[in-house]
Amino acid sequence: GENVEQHPSTLSVQEGDSAVIKCTYSDSASNYFPWYKQELGKRPQLIIDIRSNVGEKKDQRIAVTLNKTAKHFSLHITETQPEDSAVYFCAAGFQKLVFGTGTRLLVSP
Amino acid sequence: GAVVSQHPSWVICKSGTSVKIECRSLDFQATTMFWYRQFPKQSLMLMATSNEGSKATYEQGVEKDKFLINHASLTLSTLTVTSAHPEDSSFYICSAIQGAQKETQYFGPGTRLLVL
């Protein structure tokens, strides 16, 4: 089955800096790669996703890149703000998803 | 659009009792729903996949007789934790997919279960 690894587990940045979170997956059949943001005690919220026929996708300050050959994908957040502080999860699959272990992002003012 | 609700949002029960959690898609028909469990500071672990009108598919290590899932309609799936024990205390979250060819999962707000 699919296995998703996520790094780093924690990430501290200063406001305005960029943050990068990386994930690797094992199953070449996976073709959908979403990223979720989860605040404490709340539901995961989809922030961006990418499908296997696309190498990069951007939405304002957030971008995701996908390297199918190497089986890894990354989340890039530019101009970070304190409200970006949360836990971020990557996932891989199709309809059924396997989630990474999460990255706790802390943006200090 | 694509709103998923869960009820109750939290529940405290005594060991040995059963607890039912409802997951509803409010503004769309969900062909597939998923049930996850999340322990503090951990990731989401898929428990089972629920398809309307058919039996749920459980992940390895999840006891189907303990975690009963019923997906009786295109807008409602229920998870019943039977004979709950303290180790079942967790955050249970459902998600729903809007159609057979869709991938995006929309999550419910979660149910926090505490078994005393």
CA distance B21 to chain A (A): 15
For residue B100, name the pLDDT band (cuts at 50, 70, 90): low
Q: How far apart are CA B62 and CA B60, in angstroms?
A: 6
User: A100 CB near a chain B CB, below 8 Å?
Assistant: yes
For residue A91, name the pLDDT band (cuts at 50, 70, 90): very high
Residue B53 DSSP symbol? T
Nearest to A36 by CA among A23, A46, A51, A24: A46
* CB atoms inside a 10 Å sphere around CB A39: 12
What 3-state DSSP class applies to B88? helix
Asked if pLDDT for residue A25 goes beyond 70, the answer is: yes
- A44/B109 Cβ within 8 A: no
Q: How far apart are CA B103 and CA B55, in angstroms?
A: 20
Residue type, B66: K
- A43/B107 Cβ within 8 A: yes
% of chain B at pLDDT higher than 70: 97
Q: How far apart are CA B30 and CA B111, in angstroms?
A: 19
User: B92 CB near a chain A CB, below 8 Å?
Assistant: no
Task: Kindly give, in sequence order, each residue whose CB lies less than 8 Å from that of residue B47, ignoring residues fewer than 6 positions away.
Answer: B35, B36, B37, B58, B59, B62, B67, B79
Residues 7-46 of A with CB under 8 A from B: 32, 34, 36, 41-46
User: B109 CB near a chain A CB, below 8 Å?
Assistant: yes
What pLDDT, on a 0 to 100 scale, did the predictor assign at position A60? 96
% of chain A at pLDDT higher than 90: 91
User: A98 CB near a chain B CB, below 8 Å?
Assistant: yes
Mark A53-76 as b/e (b = at least 16 C-beta within 10 Å). eeeeeeeeebbbbbebeebbbbbb
Residues of A in contact with B112 (CB under 8 A): 41
What is the average per-residue pLDDT within B49-67?
A: 91
Express each pLDDT in A30-80 by its tens digit: 999 999 999 998 999 999 999 988 899 999 999 999 999 999 999 999 999
Residues 54-83 of A with CB under 8 A from B: none
- A43/B43 Cβ within 8 A: no
For residue A1, name the pLDDT band (cuts at 50, 70, 90): confident
Q: Is A41 left (phi over 0), alpha (psi -120 to 50) or beta?
A: left
Residue A77 belongs to what H/E stretch? strand A72-77
Express each pLDDT in B20-52 by its tens digit: 999 999 988 888 999 999 999 999 999 999 988
User: B107 CB near a chain A CB, below 8 Å?
Assistant: yes
Residue B22 belongs to what H/E stretch? strand B19-25
